[in-house]
Structure 1
Amino acid sequence: MSEGSTETRAVVVERDLPYPPEKIWRALTQSHLIEEWLMKTEFEPVLGHQFDLNAAWGAVHCEVQAIEPNQTLSYSWDTKDLRSVITWTLTPTGSGTRLRMEQTGFQPDQEAYYRGASAQWPNYFAAIERIVARMD
């Protein structure tokens, strides 16, 4: 990347999970389940719904930007001076679902946020998988 570039970076995590999209979708969209793998929230799967994700260190302010049940969920993810967007994509596979999360919008001077997200999202995925594994 050249000096003075305004290109943003993205963190992408993808996993193949042995569960149907409908089951994983529940973990991504039901507040009590989101709280188990991410943070406390009043999330609702409704276009334009504004919600916060609350943790001991502070809050993330979010707004649902796109929603296609069992396929795509996108919401803004704004905290401190980070303005980013999370997009979840669920793609059926022969053995379950490919779950993909992309967080876009990391500015070149936001290396700490980028590194933090790169380290944390795989942990969130592992937690999602544990939750979905024990769901009915």
Structure 2
Amino acid sequence: MQDRLYSTGAFSFALAYPGSNLLSIAQLFSVTHVYQAFHGGEEAAVSSSLPLAKRSVLGGLLPESLLYVLERSSPVAFAVAMVSDSDTPEIIWTHKMRAENLIRQVLQHLGDFPQKLSQHCHSLYDYAPVPPVTSRAER
């Protein structure tokens, strides 16, 4: 089941979380993001010839530089990077990018399901891939 966690919407709901306490989310992402069967699953995860953004279920949603923080550093470093303003050669990421691009676009994709879920806790998420997150400049 771990390789199909993506189909529950867990990654989408976690990325839509607007708070700053992201350590638990980062820990979950750390042990699952490259092991999802969204297109090749473990084969994709172990194929070092593919870029990390293609191996990770988070590719297209987060900059590849943040994915490398998750892979090469630690969940703590990733959680800090997600809520920080960084403009370095390694990472370009800001609160504004998270709020106006990532969270807004993921919530737009989820539509009214979060409200339905709060009213009917047994509702099942009908998985659909989130389109790649873009900045206003890219659109």
Larger fraction in strand: 1
Larger fraction in helix: 2
